[in-house]
Amino acid sequence: MAGKRCLVTGASSGIGLATAIRLAELGAEVTIVARDAGRASRALALVQGVAKAAGAPEAAYELADLSLMVEVRRLAEKVGARGRLDVLVNCAGIFMTRRVLTAEGLETQFAVNHLAAFTLTNALLPSLEATKDGRVVTVSSASHRQGRINWKNPGYGLLYFGLRAYGQSKLANVLFTGELARRLGPGSAVTAFAFDPGLVDTDMGNKAGFSPSSLVWSLRRKRGTAPELPAASIADLVSRAELRGRSGLYWKGDAELEPSPRALDAAAARRLWELSEALVAAAVGRKT
């Protein structure tokens, strides 16, 4: 990965942090994205330590609250102004038990888990196309298999169930990757993958405060792998020469996997793309 410029979101902890460390270890120039300056500095120190030992360029961080599309766009402008980007890993994600709307009026899980990846990737396409072999990995989940897009209101109403909203957002990750692959077309300089990390021992399910779900997660995570395992798979996805041009792959471990039939529905993917464009435009245009 020497000579490659990589941007990793959700890199202040868990899988994103382990991915940033792995990419730096392989010699890449890594920029991490985080929402909190303290956590960003702590993560950067870890990435930087590895980068130095590997003789990789100095790592850096950018701050952005990815639940806000205005901030996602600002981040993209800043990163895009630097020119070429070889790798984008959309790893930021959140699990919420309560329906919380952002200041832009979006349901938070849909905003962070799907709309941020949708907006950031699209805004950075010119930078990714400026390389001969740009790669995008959007981290989804096996939960996409239970997911359904609530077309009438992806933000849901009063009947909010956290796992349902999470499944929707992770299904959106796979549909987005499929539609992006179709829009890029064969021969594109950019290859887009959806990635399933499996069950991983991270804090994700414990961040929304104490609830029955957080209790379940505390037990469940113990059966998960270390974040270094999916991080190594992501590094493989963005570096293996033979995967170039294989846009639309859903990947787990070291192999392609069949996503759910709903995730392969091309009409739904196109509809979601249009809905996402409209939601982001409304969010950004909204006076808060």
Ligand X SMILES: NC(=O)c1ccc[n+]([C@@H]2O[C@H](COP(=O)([O-])OP(=O)(O)OC[C@H]3O[C@@H](n4cnc5c(N)ncnc54)[C@H](OP(=O)(O)O)[C@@H]3O)[C@@H](O)[C@H]2O)c1
Nearer to ligand X, 203 or 274 (CB): 203
Element (H, E) at 274: helix 266-285
Span of 14-22, 182-190, 266-274, 279-287 interacting with ligand X by CB under 6 A: 14-22
Nearer to ligand X, 132 or 137 (CB): 137
* Least gap, CB of 119 to ligand X (angstroms): 12
Nearer to ligand X, 256 or 274 (CB): 256
Closest CA to 61 of 46, 70, 192: 46
Give the Cβ contact number of residue 253 at 10 Å: 16
Residue 10 in contact with ligand X, rule: CB under 6 A: yes
Nearer to ligand X, 83 or 210 (CB): 210
* Least gap, CB of 36 to ligand X (angstroms): 5
Which one is catalytic: 156, 160, 166, 250? 166
Strands (E), the chain: 5-8, 29-34, 60-63, 87-90, 134-139, 190-196, 250-252, 255-256
Residue 122 in contact with ligand X, rule: CB under 6 A: no
Residue 139 in contact with ligand X, rule: CB under 6 A: yes
To the query of whether residue 160 is one of the catalytic residues in this protein, the response is: no
List 27, 39, 126, 211, residue binding ligand X (CB under 6 A): 39
| Cα–Cα distance for residue pair 220/236, rounded to 1 Å | 27
